Amino acid sequence: MRRRVLPGFGISLGYALTYLGLIVLLPLAALAWKATDIGFEGLVRLLSAPRTLAALRLSVGGALVSALINVVIGLLVSWVLVRYRFPGRRLFDALVDLPFALPTAVAGIALTTLYAPKGWLGRWLEPLGIHVAYTPLGVLVAMIFVGFPFVVRTLQPVLASLERDVEEAAESLGAQRWQTFFRVILPLLAPTLLTGFALALARAVGEYGSVIFIAGNMPRKSEIAPLLIVQKLEQFNYAGAAALGVALLSLSFVLLVLVAVLQRWSNRWTEQAA
């Protein structure tokens, strides 16, 4: 790139870095600083407590599963929205952004109202032995809700731009419809699916507002990690809360890096295939 021609490198980068530094990095530095108060032994004790482990497992595991489910459903929904024409398509397309826009507390209350034993959906699920509200399943439902638009919104433009001739070429060569999908389309979509997966995952790991209403919050069963942070705060245990916050953040950061590596790998693979 010819640096000389385009203006504003110094000012735009300088501004972005200052802003990020003040709004994101300085506060997170304060968090990390506070977390060191707990000491190495304290950290080991905190992270090896069965309750902490169970909460982290639920937050991270639930986020992973919810992101996976979102990838599958998101692919289906964006496929339908991009490729097919049916009445109300635009309306449904607009609704996809709802979880971005609806306050998490409202979403949590609404989902609980729906899935509680008395609720519109709960009253049908309950006799089937499916308990959603106040179980880990409820946590999953809330996580799917908040992460869903990330997958659809990353997939849609790519699906729309995906060359149809690739598919048609494949078909004309005698490939079955499903073969085209799995052998041609899916590999092309893989990097984008991974981006959507990563974003949905990151969003779900730390989710609090919507989950807290629908989870049963039982220790070791349906207690999420951010709730443990809140409980530590209630006891003025700032160091413990900060340490748990850093642990949660590091976990999701590691997952994001893993996904990025996977993505690079699949990009290369797609390029070779293409």
Partner 1 sequence: MKKIILRLLAALGVACGGVVFAKDVSLLNVSYDPTRELYRDINTAFAAQWKSQHGDNVTIQMSHGGSGKQARSVVEGLPADVVTLALAYDIDAIAERGLLAKDWQKRLPDNASPYTSTIVFLVRKGNPKGIKDWPDLVRSGVKVITPNPKSSGGARWNFLAAWGYALKQPGGNEDKAKAYVSELFKHVPVLDTGARGATNTFAQRGIGDVLIAWENEALLAQRQLGNNAFEIVVPSITILAEPPVAVVDSNADKHGTRDIAQAYVQFLYSPQAQEIAAKNFYRPRSADMAARYASQFPATHTFTIQEVFGDWHQAQAKFFKDGALFDQLVEGE
Partner 2 sequence: MNAHARTRAIAWPRRLVHVALIALALVFLVMFLVLPLATVFVEAFDQGVKPYLAAIVQPEALSAIRLTLLVAVIAVPLNLVFGVAAAWAMTRFAFRGKALLGAIIDLPFSVSPVVSGLVYVLLFGAQGWFGPWLDQHGIKIIFAVPGLVLATMFVTLPFVARELIPLMQAQGSEEEEAARVLGASAWQMFFRVTLPNIRWALLYGVLLCNARAMGEFGAVSVVSGHIRGLTTTMPLEVEMRYNEYDYVGAFAVASLLALLALLTLAVKTLLEWRYGDEIPRTRPVDTRKRHGT
Identify which of residues 198 and 225 has a Cβ nearer to partner 1 in the complex.
Answer: 225
Q: Report the candidate in 24, 14, 72, 59 with the shortest Cα–Cα distance to residue 197.
A: 72
Quickly list DSSP for 245-273.
HHHHHHHHHHHHHHHHHHHHHHHHHHHHH
- The amino acid present at 1, given as its one-letter code, is M
Q: Helices 186-205 and 62-83: crossing angle, nearest 10°?
A: 130
Residue 101 in the binding site for partner 2 (CB under 8 A)? yes
Spell out a b/e string for 101-114, using b for 16 or more CB atoms within 10 Å of the CB, else e: eeebeebbebbbbb
Identify which of residues 118 and 268 has a Cβ nearer to partner 1 in the complex.
Answer: 118
Could you tell me the smallest distance in angstroms from the CB atom of residue 208 to partner 1?
11
Q: Cβ atoms within 10 A of the Cβ of 158, count?
A: 17
Of the candidate residues 55, 67, 184, 188, the single one contacting partner 2 (CB under 8 A): 188
Q: Which of residues 126-185 bind partner 1 (CB under 8 A)?
A: 133-134
Of the candidate residues 21, 27, 117, 157, the single one contacting partner 1 (CB under 8 A): 117
Residue 158 in the binding site for partner 2 (CB under 8 A)? yes
How far apart CA 60 and CA 251 sit, in angstroms, is 8
Of the candidate residues 102, 233, 249, 251, the single one contacting partner 1 (CB under 8 A): 233
Q: Report the candidate in 144, 255, 271, 273 with the shortest Cα–Cα distance to residue 194.
A: 255
Could you tell me the smallest distance in angstroms from the CB atom of residue 177 to partner 1?
46
Residue 99 in the binding site for partner 2 (CB under 8 A)? yes
Residue 235 in the binding site for partner 1 (CB under 8 A)? yes
Positions touching partner 1 (CB under 8 A) are: 49-51, 112, 116-118, 133-134, 212-213, 216-220, 223, 227, 230-237, 240
